[in-house]
Structure 1
């Protein structure tokens, strides 16, 4: 049976450039035992399998896979899936992931619609955080220097007063040499710094976050659709 894959880019800039690729698949078209194989074959940092909601439904269930493992939560897959569901005419207010219930909002903005999800800060994995002195140091980092079994997040302020920072993230143990835009890492950083942030990650992807001292973080991003893929 052929499997159709919607391919999105999540956390683009205002021009629709950059962003982290995401594969979105109707869960009914792939047996659960085959999902890891499909995600590995596609090779995106994450691929999701979503149970399509009926028209008028307020929620949907989804599962998230990297090329080597299933994740209980990830930011760019939940933002991208929420956006995709709205585009197909079934917007939702919540998404069920293994970590818990994700709240969803859709915010129109002058520079493109932002899809917003809310996540618990303790859903985000632990990671090694490196505060570097300059953006130049962040950009000069070599992925070959970060090969152990932990996620590495490198960052530097671009405008500390505004909460703006530049970052890169490496996750080789998840099959991701460098993650272009990482919502879960944005959640962890927002909680770590206890403030709202404007994050530019990877080549130029953009993530906006809002911190809640009760342990919730909102993550917002723009999404665009690329040409889909069919697996035979």
Structure 2
């Protein structure tokens, strides 16, 4: 049976939470898009990464419902797991660095899929939000916890076409919010995940977070595996 590495990406300061990520280290075992999409749907993670070239960092990213050219937490997780300085998703070359506690990637806002970024008056309002109806559109709800310090409270609600009601930590949405606000952010998302961001040279954005190894497991398994 093939092996799957499961990571938690964008963990909180206590090492808890973070968004679950499946990494198939040998992408050759699922050689075409249909088989990869089927496995991603079976596993049920918000994203699954297939590694096609571990030395050059060539990766392929799938949600349970579609293939993505770019996604934040899969690339941070892959860079950490494979100890890479460059990751190559379909969107383009993504530089990575590791500072001991955090793994960082540098990306461009135009690579991120569209998100509706909606500001609320307080973190309490964000905490109280119900999930939007299925198919209502991708919502990234946020509020300042401490504007002077750049601290943000956020929650992310996908369209739910692929069964994901709330995304625990979304680097792509954090990327777009950072580009919109034009400043470094310290984002607490979901149940307690932490995403750090900072504008970089040439309109790039750096995204960083903690990664923890959860487990290795055989697959395929049912969607309840996530």
Equivalent positions of 1:38-187 (< 5 A) are 38-53=39-54, 57=55, 59-86=56-83, 92-108=84-100, 113-143=101-131, 145-148=132-135, 150-171=137-158, 172-187=160-175
**1:228 matched to 2:220:** no
* Number of residues of Structure 1 aligned to a counterpart in Structure 2: 217
Counterpart of 2:207 in structure 1 is 219
Task: Verify the 8 A CA contact 2:140 2:157 in the aligned structure 1.
Answer: yes
Counterpart of 2:29 in structure 1 is 29
Higher strand share: 1
User: Which shows bigger deviation, 171-180 or 192-201?
Assistant: 171-180
Deviation at 1:85, TM superposition (A): 0.5
Task: Verify the 8 A CA contact 2:52 2:60 in the aligned structure 1.
Answer: no
Deviation at 1:149, TM superposition (A): 5.1
Q: Partners in 2 of 1:210 and 1:77 — Cα distance?
A: 19
Q: Partners in 2 of 1:51 and 1:115 — Cα distance?
A: 21
Q: Partners in 1 of 2:141 and 2:162 — Cα distance?
A: 17
Task: Verify the 8 A CA contact 1:194 1:213 in the aligned structure 2.
Answer: no
Deviation at 1:147, TM superposition (A): 2.7
Normalising to structure 1: TM-score of the pair? 0.89
Counterpart of 2:179 in structure 1 is 191
Structure 2 alignment gaps of length 5 or more = 221-226
Displacement over 3 Å in runs of 4+: none
Deviation at 1:187, TM superposition (A): 0.4
Structure 1 alignment gaps of length 5 or more = 87-91
Task: Verify the 8 A CA contact 1:146 1:170 in the aligned structure 2.
Answer: no
